[in-house]
Structure 1
Amino acid sequence: MDFTMVEIVLYGAEQLCPSCVNLPSSKETYEWLGAAIARKFPEQPFKMSYVDIYQPPEDNEKGEFAKRVIEEDMFYPVVVIKEKVVGEGNPRLKTIFAELEKYGYKAE
C-alpha cells in the first residue's frame, strides 16, 4: 500500500474545556501527541498543526471547523485527520494510530 503523508490537526484553546478540568491543556496534548506519533512511526513524515478555536487562521476549512468546535460544544482538544474527528477531549493514541495506519503508516 502506498504511503500518504497526512496532516494531523489539533483544535484547542488556552483555557481548558469545562469538562476537561483534570486533563492536560490543548498545547500539552499537541506536544505529547506529536512526540508519541514520531516514536510510533519513526522516519515516516507527518504534519502536525495546532488551531486555536478562538483565534482560528484565515484558512477557511480550519476556520470553519474551529467554529463548529465551539458551536457544537465539542470537548477539545479535538484531533482531526483528513477531515475525520479521531479524538475529542482526551484523545486516545490507539484510535489515532489506527487512523494513520489506514494511510500507510507502519508502526515500528
Structure 2
Amino acid sequence: MEMKQITIKVFGGEQKCASCVNLPSSKETAEWLEAAISRKYPDQLFTIEYIDIFSSVEGENQKFAHQIVEEELFYPVVVINDEIVAEGNPRLKDIYAIMELNGYKDAG
C-alpha cells in the first residue's frame, strides 16, 4: 500500500477546558504528538497543525473550531482526514492505527 501523507490537526486553546486542568495544554499536546509520531515513523512525512479555536479560524478549520465550541467538546481535539479521532487526552494507539491505515510503517 502506498503511503498517503497525512495532516494531523490539533484544535485547542491557550486556556484549558474545565475538565482538562491536569492535562497538558493543546499546544503541548501537539508538540508531544509530533515527537511521538516522529519516533514511531522516522523518515515518513506527516504534518501537525495546531489551530487555536479562539483566534480567527477560517476555511475548513472553522467548521471544527465552531463544532468544538458549540458542542463543548474537550480539547485538544485531534482531527485526521477531516475526522475527529481524539478529544481531550489523545491516545497514541488510536492515532498510530489511523496512520498505519494510511500506509505508514512502524519503525520498531
Structure 1 residues not aligned, in runs of 5+: none
Normalising by structure 2, we get a TM-score of 0.96
* SS of the residue 1:39 aligns to: helix
Identity, in percent, stands at 54
Shift of 1:63: 1.1
Contact kept? 1:56, 1:62, Cα under 8 Å = no
Aligned length: 107
Alignment of 1:63-74 (within 5 A): 63-74=62-73
Give, as a single letter, the amino acid of the residue that structure 2 aligns with 1:7: T
Shift of 1:86: 1.2
1:76 corresponds to: 75
Contact kept? 2:57, 2:65, Cα under 8 Å = no
Q: 4+ residue runs of structure 1 moved beyond 6 angstroms?
A: none
Give me the whole-angstrom Cα distance separating, in 2, the residues matched to 1:76 and 1:62: 14
Contact kept? 2:9, 2:50, Cα under 8 Å = yes
Q: Deviations over 1:29-84 (max 9, x none)?
A: 010000000000000000110110111432x1001111111001110000010011
Normalising by structure 1, we get a TM-score of 0.96
RMSD (Å) for aligned C-alpha atoms: 0.8
Structure 2 residues not aligned, in runs of 5+: none
2:59 aligned with 1:53: no
